[in-house]
Structure 1
Amino acid sequence: MHKIVVLYPEPADAAAFKEYYESTHLPLAAKLPGLRAMRYSFDVSGDYFAIWEGEFDDAEAAGAAMASPEGQAVQADVPNYATGGAVVLDYPVRVP
């Protein structure tokens, strides 16, 4: 399995972020080809306001998803709500 994790710092307007994120951005993300599961939270401790996790079969599937038209639309949409920017991590999941 391969994960993409997006961490969002505090936005300028938390209520506007949440409304846009849930009504517009998450439906875009749900269309990513090869996406096996996704989850998010606004209850993040530490330096971040929100987190999103997407699971893919492998690194190739994650890369293809982000390079697809749907992935390009997801990436292009981020500035529409994430005034604090976004930190993107991706990694293979290892199970002991």
Structure 2
Amino acid sequence: MRKIVVLYGQPKDPDHFPSYYEQKHLPLAAQLPGLRASRHSFDIAAPEGPAPFFCMWEGEFDSGEALAGAMSSEIGRRVAADTANYATGGVTLFHCGPVEGKKS
């Protein structure tokens, strides 16, 4: 499994972001080929002070190849281009494999 995580900075218009994001962008992103699951949250907190992010989205794919294929597809290019329509605070994007660690 491979995950992609998108962290959205504080937008210039925080009232516009959620409605556009949920009504326009998420339905577009749901069409990404190979997307197995996705989730988002506007409940972003920091240990101290204001949260540096307004929203986060996480998508799951079977593999790095599936993720790369989705992002380079026509719908992947449309998803990336649509970001400018609401994410005026910028984005931080990363991907990772399964979380590994020691068992207690």
Q: Distance in 1 between matches of 2:33 and 2:100?
A: 24
Q: Deviations over 1:4-26 (max 9, x none)?
A: 00000110111100010000000
- Percent identity over the alignment is 53
Distance of 1:30 and 1:18 partners within structure 2: 16
What 5-or-longer segments of structure 1 have no aligned partner?
A: none
In the TM superposition, residue 94 of structure 1 has moved relative to its aligned partner by: 3.3
* Residue in structure 2 matched with residue 33 of structure 1 by the alignment: 33
Q: How many Å separate the matches in 2 of 1:87 and 1:41?
A: 15
One-letter amino acid of the counterpart of residue 36, structure 1: R
Deviations, residues 35-57 of structure 1 (Å, cap 9, x unaligned): 00000000011311100000000
For 1:43, the aligned partner's letter is D
| 1:83 alignment partner AA | T
Q: Please identify the structure whose Cα radius of gyration is greater.
A: 2
What's the secondary structure of 2:5's corresponding residue?
A: strand
**Where is the helix percentage greater, Structure 1 or Structure 2?**
1
Establish whether residue 59 from structure 1 lines up as the match of residue 64 from structure 2. yes
Moved over 3 A (4+): none
1:5 counterpart = 2:10: no
TM-score, length-scaled by structure 1: 0.96
The root-mean-square deviation of aligned C-alpha atoms, in Å, is: 0.9
TM-score (norm. length: structure 2): 0.89
Paired residue for 1:81? 86
Task: Tell me how far 1:95 sits from its aligned partner.
Answer: 3.9
